[in-house]
Structure 1
Amino acid sequence: MRFGIYSNNSRDIGYEVARSLARILLDKGCTPVFPESFSGTIIREVEGAEFGSFETCDIIVSIGGDGTFLSVISEYRELNIPFVGINKGSIGFLTEITQFPIEDQIDLIIDGKYDIIERTQLKCELYDNDGRLKASDVCLNDVSVLRGSRPHILKLSLFINGEKVENFYGDGIVVATPTGSTAYTLAAGGPLVMPSMDVMLVSPICPHTLQNMSYILDPKSEVEIHLLDFESSPIVCPDGREMGPLKQYDVLKIRRHKDTVKTIKLNTTGFFQNVRKKIVARGSFYENGQE
């Protein structure tokens, strides 16, 4: 088996985990492959490690936190290869391997003792007032419209399948997949949704209203967010990446992407066990599954 490995050196200091993983794989007759840009790092000292494209790999491994995992998926999603994360971040909800040493969990992957979860993605397109496409992106977690650097409220209009739902003032809005239900949507008061479900979630962020609710949509729905009024330029962020500044009367269109992302699920912990261990009461969390 060939394993593509990407490590975030700000989390994996000195590429310690990356080098350890490479040696484990080599000992088991597998080939570790790193991006060409890693050839100038200390990883080059691992005899047998390769540097180059992930196109011929069977699995792609991300070493870092959830942000690293999302970045790796953004970079390599077109390869249609299963992803798995090794957590070196804080909460690491999306990363499957959290216990160290990692050899036993790597053995499960090599032996094929895992499930594949097909995760829904979102396609987001930004149009100007004349209907011209300004930017587009794909995200696994969510896409959010956020107020800019100045703390002024936004006026937004929400449409679903061409039907106007509501106007509201607030800090923004987040549209999420089931995978993203444990991220910004959760903080915005949205529901927890198991990642195997096929739905879309829409949650206003701090709306100025006496009532607030999220929307759970059919996966074939198209969401439109119209920007009606603001004093500073807000931003669109798919999976935390800034897509670009917005202008008044711009329209953001969001729908389910035609392709899913494949992630590896080891049969060691369930979804709600992860919720209990990693996301608990306000102001608290567990690190690496330890109470």
Structure 2
Amino acid sequence: MKIAVFGQYYQNNTHSIVEKVVAFLEQNNIEICFYKIFYDKLIENEVSLSEYSTFDSHECLKDNFDYLISIGGDGTILRAATFVRNYNLPIIGINSGRLGFLATIQEENIEKLLTRVVANDFSISKRTLVSLHAHPENIDLEDINFALNEITVSRKDTTSMITIETYINNEYLNSYWADGLIISTPTGSTGYSLSCGGPVIMPTSNCFVITPIAPHNLTARPLIIPDDSELTLKIKGREEQYLVSLDSRITSVSNETTLTVKKTDFFISIIEFPEEGFLRTIRKKLLWGEDKRN
């Protein structure tokens, strides 16, 4: 078995988490390959590690890996997804961040749950992604043109709202007069979309949600659509450019650009365990249904 280990940051508990992960993998004779930038940060912070092979691009993960362990928060898994792409490489999320909707394995459960991974005792949650294409092409949007959480368009360099002319399968929906618009996957429904009034959606639901950001009309509310829909966005505003973000990656796009948003033809696989499932997570992280009267 061969496992890739990915991370972005060195935090207070990163040292102990990495030591536990490495100790378990070595005890089980599992080959380890670190993301090079993360490996260098660990060495810089005096984490005691042997010499391991490293990877520095998504091309390195195409073959011969069984799993990818992500050490960090949900943002780290979003970044890991840009390496995993369509390689069908399941992600194991170990949480060293704060919320942890995707990275649900806590430090105290590392050995127990990794033992179950080795024993093939887990489930896989296939997560839908959303893709973006620009017309005319924008070089910043072509290399990594997909998002696990959401695609967002928003105003830039102005306090004025923008107008987002929106079509579903070439049929006119609405012109949103707002600070921006979020097209969220079910996975992303507990993120930015939720903060803007969007619904919480079960991760395996076959839908997207369109959530306006600070709309200036009371009738513009979040809309759930089938995930086989194709969205077309045409943005107008006082400034010559607006912002487009795919998860945490952001770029500027000129007003004459038309955006096409649709589901990707591949999924990201997240390893899950019943005791760290979605319903338990929203109760624990969002205090779902909590009522001091009960």
Instruction: Bin the TM-score by the shorter chain.
Output: 0.7 to 0.9
- CA distance in 2: counterparts of 1:154 and 1:49, whole angstroms: 50
Preserved contact between residue 128 and residue 268 of structure 2 (Cα < 8 Å): yes
Shift of 1:150: 2.9
Shift of 1:39: 5.4
Shift of 1:14: 6.0
Shift of 1:229: 2.1
Match of 2:273 in 1: 266
SS of match in other structure, 1:155 = strand
SS of match in other structure, 2:98 = coil
Confirm or deny that 1:142 pairs with 2:150: yes
Shift of 1:96: 2.4
The code of the aligned residue for 1:34 comes to: F
Confirm or deny that 1:214 pairs with 2:237: no
- CA distance in 2: counterparts of 1:261 and 1:38, whole angstroms: 22
Q: Give the fraction of aligned pairs with identical amino acids, expressed as a percent.
A: 26
Flag the 1:32–1:12 CA change in 2: closer, same or farther, 3 A: farther
- CA distance in 1: counterparts of 2:148 and 2:14, whole angstroms: 29
SS of match in other structure, 2:163 = strand
Aligned match for 1:250, one of 257, 270, 273 = 257
- CA distance in 1: counterparts of 2:82 and 2:156, whole angstroms: 24
SS of match in other structure, 1:79 = coil
Match of 1:6 in 2: 6
* 1:153-168 mapped onto 2 (5 Å cutoff): 153-168=161-176
Preserved contact between residue 158 and residue 166 of structure 1 (Cα < 8 Å): yes
Kindly tell me the number of residue pairs found equivalent between the two proteins: 277
* 1:74-153 mapped onto 2 (5 Å cutoff): 74-127=82-135, 132-134=136-138, 135-136=141-142, 137-153=145-161
- CA distance in 2: counterparts of 1:12 and 1:3, whole angstroms: 24
Flag the 1:12–1:80 CA change in 2: closer, same or farther, 3 A: farther
- CA distance in 2: counterparts of 1:118 and 1:22, whole angstroms: 27
- CA distance in 2: counterparts of 1:105 and 1:186, whole angstroms: 29
- CA distance in 2: counterparts of 1:247 and 1:8, whole angstroms: 31
Shift of 1:272: 2.0
Q: CA RMSD in A?
A: 2.2
Match of 1:288 in 2: none
Confirm or deny that 1:47 pairs with 2:50: yes
Preserved contact between residue 7 and residue 71 of structure 2 (Cα < 8 Å): yes
- CA distance in 2: counterparts of 1:143 and 1:24, whole angstroms: 37
* 1:202-241 mapped onto 2 (5 Å cutoff): 202-231=210-239, 233-241=241-249
User: Which stretch shows the higher mean deviation, 272-281 or 49-58?
Assistant: 49-58
Q: Structure 1 regions of 5+ residues with no counterpart? A: 285-291
Preserved contact between residue 101 and residue 278 of structure 2 (Cα < 8 Å): no
- CA distance in 1: counterparts of 2:13 and 2:181, whole angstroms: 35
